[in-house]
């Protein structure tokens, strides 16, 4: 189902999606108070200025928590099973939900809360289909 938010949202979504399609990660930034903002907002949630742009984000972060879908998914994700999502915190005090790559064992057993994770985009077709940040283990 769509919402009235969907119309005109491109100004917020497109710069973010577009970077992801290029295999890059950006976050929103307020030029007035120089703070980073995630998720992107219409006005700065700190100083309410509307002078916002997007800046390159650090590519390493810390995993706050994660969950592995093994059985059952929202419609459209059945073929992805099993798959994992996690909340990643970046330097600059921003955080967001991301997809997590399987580890060297092909599962997510090597991930841990508060451990380091690294931005690593999925292939262009996947990023085109579902623009979402993907993170993996370092190395």
Partner 1 sequence: MSDKGRDTEPVFIGIGEQPSGRYPNRPFMGDLVRVGVAAVKDAGLTMGDIDTILLIPCLHSPADQADLVFSRVVEELGLNKRAKSQYMVHSGGSTSDNTIRDAAGLIESGHAKNVLVLQAEKWGSAPVKDMIDMLTANGIPREWEKQSGLSFNAVGALIQRRYMHDSGSTPEDMASVCVALREWANLNPNAMYKDKKLTVEQVLASKMITDPIRAMECPMLADGACALVLTSRGNARKLGQERVVRIAGSGGCVSHYSIGQERELGVLGWELAGVEAYETAGWGPEDADIAEIYDSYAAVLTSGMEGLGLAPKGEAARMFARGEFSPGGRLPTNTNGGLLSAGHTGVGGGTALLTEGVRQLLGRAGAERQVEGATRAVCGGSGGTYMDSQVLLLEGVSA
Residues that bind partner 1 (CB under 8 A): 1, 3, 5-6, 9, 12-13, 38-40, 64-77, 80, 83-87, 95-99, 108, 112-114, 130-132
User: Minimum Å distance from CB 138 to partner 1?
Assistant: 19
DSSP string, 94-128: EEEEEEE---TTSSSTT--TT-EEEE----HHHHH
Q: C-beta of 102: minimal distance to partner 1 in Å?
A: 13
Nearer to partner 1, 60 or 73 (CB): 73
Report the residue number, 32 or 81, with the smaller CB distance to partner 1: 81
Place of tokens 């060297």: 104
Task: Report the distance separating Cα 113 and Cα 75, nearest Å.
Answer: 28
SS3 13: helix
Residue whose CB is less far from partner 1, 48 or 77: 77
Size of the chain, expressed as the number of residues it contains: 139
Kindly state the smallest distance separating residue 42's Cβ from partner 1, in Å: 12
């Amino acid at each position: 189902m769509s919402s009235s938010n969907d119309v005109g949202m491109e100004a917020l979504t497109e710069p973010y999606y577009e970077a992801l399609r290029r295999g890059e990660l950006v976050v929103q930034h307020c030029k007035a108070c120089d703070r980073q903002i995630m998720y992107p907002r219409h006005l700065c949630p700190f100083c309410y200025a509307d002078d916002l742009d997007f800046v390159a984000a650090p590519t390493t972060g810390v995993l706050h928590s994660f969950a592995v879908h093994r059985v059952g998914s929202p419609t459209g994700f059945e073929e992805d099973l099993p798959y994992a999502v996690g909340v990643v915190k970046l330097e600059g005090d921003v955080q967001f939900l991301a997809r997590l790559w399987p580890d060297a064992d092909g599962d997510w057993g090597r991930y841990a809360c508060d451990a380091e994770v690294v931005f690593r985009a999925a292939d262009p077709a996947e990023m085109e289909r579902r623009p979402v940040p993907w993170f993996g283990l370092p190395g």
